Amino acid sequence: MNAQEQKPLEEILGFLDGKEKVVLSGCGACATIFRTGGIEDLADMKERLETRGKEVIGTIGMPFGIFACYLPMSSGFYEQNSDILEAADAVLGQSCGDGIQAMREYLEEEMGIVKPIYPATNARGLSSGGPVRFDERCQACGDCKLGLTTGLCPLVQCPKGLLNGPCGGTREDGKCEVDPDKDCVWVKIYERAERLNQLNELVETMEPHDWSKQTRPRQLERKPIDLEEKLAGTKEALESMGI
Ligand code: SF4
Ligand code: SF4
């Protein structure tokens, strides 16, 4: 998931200076889980902006499971709300920057709506876990090394990003030199390799990482999924788990 947190209200109000009619647009996926852009979060933002004199002329809330960044799902919400989007002085995006830019591009290129769009959130990287705590574990480097590091990513979990760790500073209690509250990931990699009886595989020196795979912006093309079929499968699986 794309971890995110809400920007301070004063920063958002700064963006909206001189813009009176505002539309709030959320996301039913990561932004709902991180409580930045779910339907309730939009209602909360509406109330706070109205208290500060803004006129929120509409909210585009997406039910849970609708990804703002996946246009086959989110674009229908923009189409349904074309009237308020047309009337707005500004749109406040309550999702990660990816979802916000997908919306901006769709509004401009498919609907011909050109409006100032501002972010209400700060994205914090690919993270997993929940329901309360989320840890960043991957930076989508494009050349995954987990197969060589017992399934723990040193590029993300080591503050120095060392592929051939540990550094010389690991603390005696196995904590990281940079952050004494965190375990040294290379100690964890060593311990896991020991449990897996794979210590001999750690002897090899890893080649320098191929950062060219992370040259941005990256682009991929894929055969489209059958959304209806996938959603039916999700419903069935959730029901079988009693959710
Ligand atoms: S090596 Fe780390 S950053 Fe790269 S894809 Fe694998 S988990 Fe993600
Ligand atoms: S102590 Fe471990 S995690 Fe911390 S910087 Fe050194 S190798 Fe990386």
Give tens-digit pLDDT for 17-56. 999 999 999 999 999 999 999 999 999 999 999 999 999 9
Closest atom of ligand 2 to CA, residue 177 = 1
Domain termination site, one of 64, 95, 128: 128
Question: What residues does ligand 2 touch, defined as CB less than 6 Å away?
Answer: 158-160, 162, 165-167, 169-170, 176-178, 184-186
Mean pLDDT of 3-11: 98
Classify residue 240: in a domain, yes or no. no
Three-state secondary structure call for residue 91: strand
Q: How far apart are CA 88 and CA 111, in angstroms?
A: 14
pTM of the model: 0.92
Centre of ligand 1 to C-alpha 174, Å, is 23
Task: Assess whether 144 and 109 both reside in one domain.
Answer: no
Instruction: Identify the nearest ligand to the CA of 211 by its number.
Output: 1
Would you say 145 and 156 are in contact if contact means Cβ atoms under 8 Å apart?
no
Name the domain count of the chain. 2
Q: Which domain holds residue 167?
A: 140-214
Q: How many CB atoms lie within 10 A of CB 64?
A: 11
If you count them, how many residues does the chain have? Answer: 243
Q: Model confidence at 243, in pLDDT bands (50, 70, 90)?
A: confident
Q: How far apart are CA 119 and CA 196, in angstroms?
A: 45
- Check residue 99 and report its DSSP letter: H
Q: What is the residue with the minimal CA distance to atom 4 of ligand 2?
A: 176
Would you say 174 and 183 are in contact if contact means Cβ atoms under 8 Å apart?
yes
Rounded to 5 degrees, what are φ and ψ at 85? -65, -40
Domain termination site, one of 108, 128, 148: 128
Domain of residue 100, CATH code:
3.40.50.1860
Mean pLDDT of 97-125: 98
Q: Is the CB of 210 under 6 A from ligand 1?
A: no
Centre of ligand 1 to C-alpha 21, Å, is 42
